[in-house]
Each structure stands twice: as C-alpha cells, then as structure tokens.
Amino acid sequence: MSKFIFITGGVVSGIGKGIVGASIGRLLKDRGVSVFMQKFDPYINVDPGTMSPYQHGEVFVTKDGAETDLDLGHYERFIDEELTQRSNVTTGRIYSEVIQKERRGDYNGSTVQVIPHITDRIKGYVYKAAEESKADVIITEIGGTVGDIESLPFIEAIRQIHSENKDDVLFIHTTLVPKVPGSNELKTKPTQHSFKQLMSQGIKANIIVVRSSETISEEIKNKISLFCDVPKNAIVQSENVDVIYEVPVKLHEQGLDDYVIEKLQLKAKKSDSNWANMLRSVKDAKETLEVGLIGKYVKLHDAYLSVSQALIDASYKNGYKLNIHWINSQEITEENVSEKLSGLDGIIVPGGFGSRGVEGMIITSKYSRENNIPYFGICFGMQIAIIDIARNVCKLEGADSTEKNEYTKYPVISLMEDQFDVKNIGGTLRLGNYDCKLKENTKARKLYNEEFIKERHRHRYEFNNKFRKELEQAGVVFSGINPELDLVEIIEYNNSDYFVACQFHPEFKSRPNKVHPLFDGFIKASIKNKKSK
C-alpha cells in the first residue's frame, strides 16, 4: 500500500513548497523508493489552460493531455517520471465534478455539502493516484498558505486521510523565518503562528522546512522545536542556492530523506544517483552562450519556464553557462532586427497563441535563416518558420495562419478541420502525447537516433498539407510526421546549417540529467556558431 506525504505552506506563498516536494521525491527515488506527485490548487478555474501566462506562468501539459500548474514541470524534471491528469487538481475541477454528480442524481437526493462530498472527492484523487501509479509514496502539495479560506476543504481532506491511515501519512510544513529590518534578528514567531494555525485545523506537522535569507542557527532550531513540538532533527532549512537542482543535495545533507524513510518505515537502499555528477557539470561550466528567446510573454519569465530550464540544462550538459536574452517580438521590425538580435549564438521562438507579436517573430525567422544563425522553433515557432519561408522563399505573398488572418490567400497554417474530414476537432486543442515517425537522413532522426517517438502537444492550428510540395521545393524537409493523420510534426530547412522547428513541446520531456535531443542539438549548433565567429 502507498504511503502519503502532504506538504503545506505558511506565512507567505512562493517559499518553495513545490521544490521541496520535488526534492524529497528525487531523494526517495535515488534510494529505490517509487514516487508519484500531485499539486492541489485552490483556485476556482478548472485548470490553468485559459489563464493568461502573466497570471499563472506557463501551462504544463502531461502525457495524457492535462493542462496543469507549472509546478508539475518541476516535479517531472526532478523525479524523471511522467505524471498524469491525477497530478493537478483544482477547486474548480472538484466542485464541477461534484455538481455534475448532483445533477445526475448520483447522491440520491442527499443534501450536498463540503463535508463529506467535496472532501471525499479530494480524497478520491489521492487514493486513485495511489491505485493507478502503484507508487510507494504519493507526495501531494497543497497550494496557497494555511489559513486561506480557499484551502480549507483540501486541509480537511488530508486530515481525514491521516485519520484513515495514521501510520502511513507524513505532514511537512514549509514556513518563512524572516529578518526584521533594523533589528538584525531572525524571527520565528511567523513559523509558530503558522504551525498553530495548522494545528487548529486538525493537522500536526511532522517536519518543518524553513526558508530564510540566512543560515538558521541551532538556537533558532531549538526555539522552533520547543514552541512547535517538533523534534530538532525534523527541522531543516531549504537554503537559497544558485541552481535549484542543489536543493535535494542540501536537504540530504541535513538528513531529511533519512527522517522521512524512518517515519514512514520505508524499505530503502543507500543513495544511488547521477544527480551529483550532473551538478558538477553545472559548476564546471565557464564560458557563456548567448541565446535569444523571442516571444510575446517575455515580461514574465515563468511563462516560458520549461523552455528556459531545458535550454539552461542543455547548455550545462555541453559545458556552457547560458545567458538568455528575453526579447519582446512586438518590438522587432525590419529596420531594427539586426540590432535587436545582434551577438546571438542561437535563436529560439517558443509557443504562444493569438496574433500579437507575430510579425516580429516572422522577421526573426527570416533574419535567422538568411544569416545562418541556429534557429529552433517550438509549436508556434514552427508555424512562424513556415509562414516566413512561404512568404520570403516561395513568394506566396501574404501567406499566413488563419488564426491571424482567416481571409489569407495562402493559409499555410490552418485548423485541422479545414484540411481533413475530421469531426469534433474545431474549438479544441491537440493535447498530450502523439506519435511521430522520423524520416531517415535528417537532423531530427540523427538527434533522436530512433524512428518512432512520442511527444506532447498543446495547439489548435496545423501546417496545411496543401502547401507541402511548394515548401519542399523551397528547401523545407518534413522530417517528422504523425502517421495517423499525416500531420507535420518537425521541419528542417536545408539551406541553413541548423534550422529546426517542431509542432510539439519538447521542453516538457527534457530533464537536467537527461536533456531532450532537440534542445541538445540546438545548443550544440549554437556553440558551433559561437566558435566560428
């Protein structure tokens, strides 16, 4: 039977519950314990799929097509496991499902209430994750902070799970130990109050993880231990680090994984991991690579979190630090493009929706292609590359995506229903894993070193196959094709040293110790370009 770890937060949000949970998952996995991770979000949106990137950062997509919180990206990168729709649950989703059941009459005329109906539904997601994953440990992060009115049903649900599985549940509470300006003292009172707030809701934390700008002294630990009735060796600090992948190492040095294993009576081996080797490559990197990320949401870097992290990881793997130039595509014009993109070793255009900033991206693709700067287009970035080549090489004047211009004479990018006799596609996204067959003697085939792959998607518009012949004659190689619907998944441009774009999102499958082939290839090409200057 699975064991359960629940991670709550107090004092303020954003103190690293997700990273702590992912780090514990990494440490347990390194010791032979299988894990599955979840994030419970208290907002009323059913999922973050319709939320602005400026509100919520990127939308992470699981293999089965769930649009989820960006914390799941951290989870997957740390534990190297593919998560599912069971991994992200919101208040909106829970209430929506309960109301649907009530409308169908599933409750046999009972009065539907938060307890037991809402809490039972929340518990069901935890138990179902255990049943389906068969993992030794289910790690669940509760979003927000203790005391938030939105979080109360989740807190009550995990209290009930503890009541039903007393020896198999561990509560970890993350808090802030701030330094008050002027006094030059670290204050434990916020941690004490947060702990008592959690106690008032029926939960006693077994472990406290503190965040602070300075190293926590033994005196501070003693004080927290005394006032919160938690053993001193169960109080650890999540230190500020240069690279987030150091967090598991820091927690291991404080004995956190040993304590978790002992409390949950898990069968575990000594730590066996290449994580430390991966971190050494990070520390050893000396030279810096200059890569431009051209997008429409660059004011909030979290909007491209998985992309930027995959780029950074690929750079470290190849012995380089990375300097990402965050460039707003709306600001790029034919007149200033050479100035805006000057000095870049490589250029990446990631995903996005809508017409804003598109022309700047098309100009970027053209500049990259004509100046032989390595180009990597992801999802929207592939569509941009197609439009550029259609307009500027094939001379299809005004070629465009019907998302931007539904009346274009040359709809090189359009909805799938406009191209095929496919029903029930309009108004939906192609989400999650889809098959792709790679063509021989192409960059993609060499990078993956296999014929068939699966990659995750999140998009609505596709390359219009009616223009395939014209683009092939212009030098485009369609190196990856979805065999079921004959949809283009990867393109390359023969007349550039490295010009590769894909319709899917490879960043979702990249790991710090297992870099995705397309990111690895792009960074290698950018390094080669840097050295040739």
Query: For residue 365, which of 345, 346, 388, 382 has the smallest C-alpha distance?
Result: 388
Q: Is 234 helix (H, G, I), strand (E, B) or coil?
A: helix
Does the annotation place 460 within a ligand binding site?
yes
From the list 76, 239, 470, 507, the catalytic residue is 507
Does the annotation place 188 within a ligand binding site?
yes
Mind giving me the DSSP string for 271-328?
---SHHHHHHHHHH--SEEEEEEEES-TTSGGGGHHHHHHHHHHHHHTT-EEEEEEEE
Does the annotation place 71 within a ligand binding site?
yes
Does the annotation place 17 within a ligand binding site?
yes
> What's the CA gap between 138 and 133, in Å, rounded?
9
> What's the CA gap between 393 and 397, in Å, rounded?
10
Does the annotation place 14 within a ligand binding site?
yes
Contacts of 473 (CB under 8 A, 6+ apart): 394
117 is catalytic: no
Q: Where are the beta strands (DSSP E) in 95-227?
A: 137-142, 169-176, 179-180, 185-186, 207-211
Q: 175 φ, ψ to 5°? A: -140, 170
> What's the CA gap between 290 and 288, in Å, rounded?
7
> What's the CA gap between 166 and 231, in Å, rounded?
19
Does the annotation place 380 within a ligand binding site?
yes
Does the annotation place 484 within a ligand binding site?
no
From the list 379, 394, 436, 502, the catalytic residue is 379
Does the annotation place 149 within a ligand binding site?
yes
Does the annotation place 191 within a ligand binding site?
yes
Does the annotation place 13 within a ligand binding site?
yes
Does the annotation place 223 within a ligand binding site?
yes
335 is catalytic: no
Does the annotation place 370 within a ligand binding site?
no
CB half-sphere exposure, 212, CA atoms < 13 A: 23
> What's the CA gap between 70 and 141, in Å, rounded?
13
Q: Is 411 helix (H, G, I), strand (E, B) or coil?
A: strand
Query: For residue 494, which of 476, 481, 480, 479 has the smallest C-alpha distance?
Result: 476
Does the annotation place 148 within a ligand binding site?
yes
Does the annotation place 192 within a ligand binding site?
yes
Does the annotation place 381 within a ligand binding site?
yes
Going by the DSSP 8-state scheme, the letter that residue 442 receives in this structure is S
Q: Answer for the pair 8, 203: CB distance below 8 angstroms, yes or no.
A: yes
Does the annotation place 164 within a ligand binding site?
no
Does the annotation place 185 within a ligand binding site?
no
**What are the structure tokens assigned to 380, written together?**
């929207």
> What's the CA gap between 391 and 384, in Å, rounded?
11
Does the annotation place 509 within a ligand binding site?
no
Cα distances (Å, whole numbers) of residue 257 to 236, 239, 269, 306: 11, 16, 11, 27
From the list 56, 173, 252, 505, the catalytic residue is 505
Cα distances (Å, whole numbers) of residue 370 to 160, 479, 521: 62, 21, 20
Q: Which of 91-95's residues contact partners 24+ apart within 8 Å by CB, and which partners? A: 91/41, 91/42, 91/43, 91/44, 91/150, 91/153, 92/43, 92/44, 92/45, 92/46, 92/47, 93/46, 93/47, 94/118, 94/121, 94/122, 94/153, 95/44
Does the annotation place 190 within a ligand binding site?
yes
Q: 215 φ, ψ to 5°? A: -65, 135
379 is catalytic: yes
Q: 6 φ, ψ to 5°? A: -115, 130
Query: For residue 162, which of 3, 1, 34 has the smallest C-alpha distance?
Result: 3
Does the annotation place 187 within a ligand binding site?
yes
Does the annotation place 44 within a ligand binding site?
no
Mind giving me the DSSP string for 207-225?
EEEEE-SSPPPHHHHHHHH
Q: Which of 97-101's residues contact partners 24+ apart within 8 Å by CB, and which partners? A: 97/121
Does the annotation place 18 within a ligand binding site?
yes
Q: Does the CA dihedral 117-121-126-130 come out positive or negative?
A: positive
Does the annotation place 216 within a ligand binding site?
no
Binding-site annotation, residues for L-glutamine: 54, 352, 380-383, 403, 460
Residues making up the annotated binding site are: 13-19, 54, 71, 141, 148-150, 187-192, 223, 241, 352, 380-383, 403, 460
* Enzyme catalytic residues: 379, 505, 507
Which residues sit in the known binding site for UTP?
A: 13, 187-192, 223
Residue ranges of the annotated binding site for CTP are: 13, 148-150, 187-192, 223
**Residues flagged as binding site for ATP:** 14-19, 71, 241
